[in-house]
Structure formats: structure tokens, C-alpha cells
A and B are shown apart, each in its own frame.
Chain A
Amino acid sequence: MKLKIGIAITIFFTGLALGVYFFSPHTFHGTVIQSPNPSFDFTLTGADGDVSLSDFRGKLVVIYFGYTFCPDICPATLANVGQALRRMNENQSKNVQLIMISLDPERDTPKKLSEYVVHFYPSFIGITGSNEKLAEVTSLYGIFYEKSAGSTTENYTIDHTATLLVIDREGYLKLVFPFGVTVDEIADDLKYMLR
């Protein structure tokens, strides 16, 4: 009898361990947001005209705030997202749209932005807008930014929050990746969200 109980307990815990391993929910690498409201739908300017967040309903939208003169953080982050998309199959990657919003409309024309972002991945889009519009969009996406003076008036940098934001297919902010998230982590979470 004792042997049977022992076997039953062993089976129970083995089953529990296997169940947790195989059927546990995905653990996101980014921070999951459970917002009851859709994300703020902005409209900014790209190389081919106005671009709105709602234009991409049905796709995952990864939003990154940066600028083309950004010395290190922006290219590193964009390169990571580009690599993450290359680790997906075609059906997955075509359903992810990265939008880079430039915080430097004085130097980043829509054309220049467009040429910059496609270096990282062909489908990437770069957009920007007036300082007033950018102040509104950044505030509502929790992005702080400010100019930092350089050696000349044109040689300034922009300090900014370096998070990556992921909007789900229905237009809700779902994930916030901190700066430093790896290619594998981005790919892992995006693939899960595309299931």
C-alpha cells in the first residue's frame, strides 16, 4: 500500500513539473501593460506623407523614439530589432512594423529619416513632426527628451528615454522593453504576440 502511495505521489509531482514546464504561459521579457484604453493615435510625417499609428492596425507596431544623429543607443536598438525580425519567418516579420519617431525635426527631414531607418531593416519607417506635436506624442508615451548642447549650435545631442514600445494588433500598448533588451528577447516576445 505504501509503495502505491509513493508511486502516486511521484507521478503527481512529476506530472506537475512537466505540466508547468510545457504548459506554463509565456514569460515576457518586456514589461506587460494591461491598459484598458487603446494607445494614443498620432499622425506624423514620413517620406511618403502622413503616417498614423492606426494605419497599422492588424500588425504589431514597435515604436522607437530617437534621432539619426544619435551616436550609439539608437543605432544599437534599431539594429537589435532588425536582427530580431530576421530571426522570424517571413509570415511573422511582415506582420511587425517598426516606426522610429525622430525627436530632432530640425535635422531629420522625413527623407533623411527614411534613408536612415532602412539601413536596419527594409520595412522600417521613420517619421517626425512639429515640436508641439512631438511634445504631445512623447508625453503620452512616457518618453522624456531634451536637447543637450554640443560644441556648435548644430552639433547638439538629444537625451531621451530609450525604451521600445510594442503596440498589439488591436492598437493597445502591450509591452515596454527597457534599453539593453537582447535580439533573442525581442524576437521571443514578438513571436509569441504573433501566435
Chain B
Amino acid sequence: MNKYLLNGLYFLFAIIIISAFAFKLFQPIKVLPRMQLAPAFNLTDQNDARLTSEELRGKFVLYNFTYVNCPAPCYNLNKTMQEVQTRLSEAELGDIQVEFITISFDPDRDTSAVLRTYADSIGADTKQWSFATNTNKALLKTIIGSGFETYYEDKGDGKFAFDPSFVLVDGWGIVRAEYRYQTEVSDADRIIRHLSVLAEEVRNSTGTAKLAYEAAHLFLCYAP
């Protein structure tokens, strides 16, 4: 093969490898991983109205899972939800709407009326934050346990053992982040940061910019 052509090819490969390495090293674009499909559901909210996964398409949704009779730790989970809701303007969301949904895994006691009273008692802004459940316990276990991968177990004495967590789902119904409740650092800070990252990706989800974002997914350039 012609010496110049061969050198040209080496040069070309070197540029590609350097470019890819530079992209991975400097990570000019950050994304959140597309972890899995969020489960579909049909729940009943605090106003006894239907709440389905389908009507949440196009919105970012932050979920958490609890029960009304939960002692102390749940108070902190609610505080985080409230903090994110209050500080939402920091997230540079543009036109993208965010919903907050707390799903109760105790449908026997957490009726719509009980959930409504609970929402009022913690001062939740229910225009944006819904409290919901489903009386079909097997299906609820599928949705929360398998779909959202959040462990909970009825201990039989009116209490539940569960992993406190938040799950962030994008407008396509894909889980983009999971937050296993931490006491040392604020989950709210991370959630707000992640909402910004996600909104930026949505704004750049067409044309040439999309290619750059897909490259960021390919190179695992994940936001901390």
C-alpha cells in the first residue's frame, strides 16, 4: 500500500481514538443513565381520582414510597420532597413540568380520605404532589417492589419494613435516577441537579445535538 495512504490511515485512527478518549476524559456533556422502563400503573389518588402512568408522559416525575402510619424516617422523606418542590426554580426546567408522587404500600389503611388528611397534615402542595395507592396488593407489589425496585414488607404489626428511596422518571417513562435515602448528604441537592441535567437533554433531543448526547450515553458520561 502507498506509504502516504497508510500514514493517512494511521493518522485518521489516531484522531478518532484521541477524540473518543478526550470525550470520555473531559465529558463535555453529562447525562443520566436510561436505567429501565418505569412500571405502568393505575392508582387512586387522595381525591379518589384515577392516576395513571400514561397521563404522566411528557413530565418528569419524582416518586417516593411510604405509608401514613410510618414513624420518624418518613417525615424526612417528605421533607426532601417538599424541599425539591420548593427549590424547583433552581433546576432550569423551562417548559417541562415536574410531578411528585408518593405511593402508599398500605392500601388497607391508606384510603383516599386518609391520604388527603395526611397530605394536608404535612402541608403538601397537592397541585403538583399526589398521594396514591392501589387496593390490589399483588399488583402494588409488582409496581413498587419489582417495577420501582423498592423493597417493602408488611411486618404484620401495623408496621412496614422498607427501603426509603426516591425514583426519578423522565417524560418517556424511563427511570433515570434512583436515590437510596441518605442522611449524610442532601438528596434534594442531587435531585435538583439531576432535573437540570435531564431538562438540558430534553432540550437537545433533536438534530445534531442529539448525536452529542447519544455519545455521552455511549461513553457513560453520567452526572454525579
Contacts and interface: CB of A to CB of B under 8 A. Distances in A.
Interface residues of A, number: 36
Interface in B124-164: 136, 138-139, 142-143, 146-147
Given A135-B139, A140-B142, A161-B40, A36 B35 contact: yes
A143 B40 contact: yes
A35 interface: yes
B113 interface: no
A18 to B, nearest CB: 7
A34 B33 contact: yes
A34 B217 contact: yes
A136 B144 CA distance: 12
A19 interface: yes
A139 B143 contact: yes
Interface string A29-46: 001111111001000000
B16 A23 contact: yes
Contacts of A33: 34-37, 174
Tell me the interface secondary structure of chain A in the complex.
mixed
A144 interface: yes
B140 to A, nearest CB: 10
A40 B16 contact: no
Interface in B172-213: 172-174, 210-211
B171 to A, nearest CB: 11
A180 interface: no
A136 B141 CA distance: 10
A88 B91 CA distance: 45
Given A16-B15, A31-B174, A139-B147, A25 B36 contact: no
A139 B217 contact: no
A12 interface: yes
B12 A34 contact: no
Contact of A28 (B13, B174, B214): B214
A40 B146 contact: yes
Interface string A137-149: 0111111111000
Interface of B: 8, 11-13, 15-16, 19, 33-42, 52-54, 136, 138-139, 142-143, 146-147, 172-174, 210-211, 214-215, 217-218
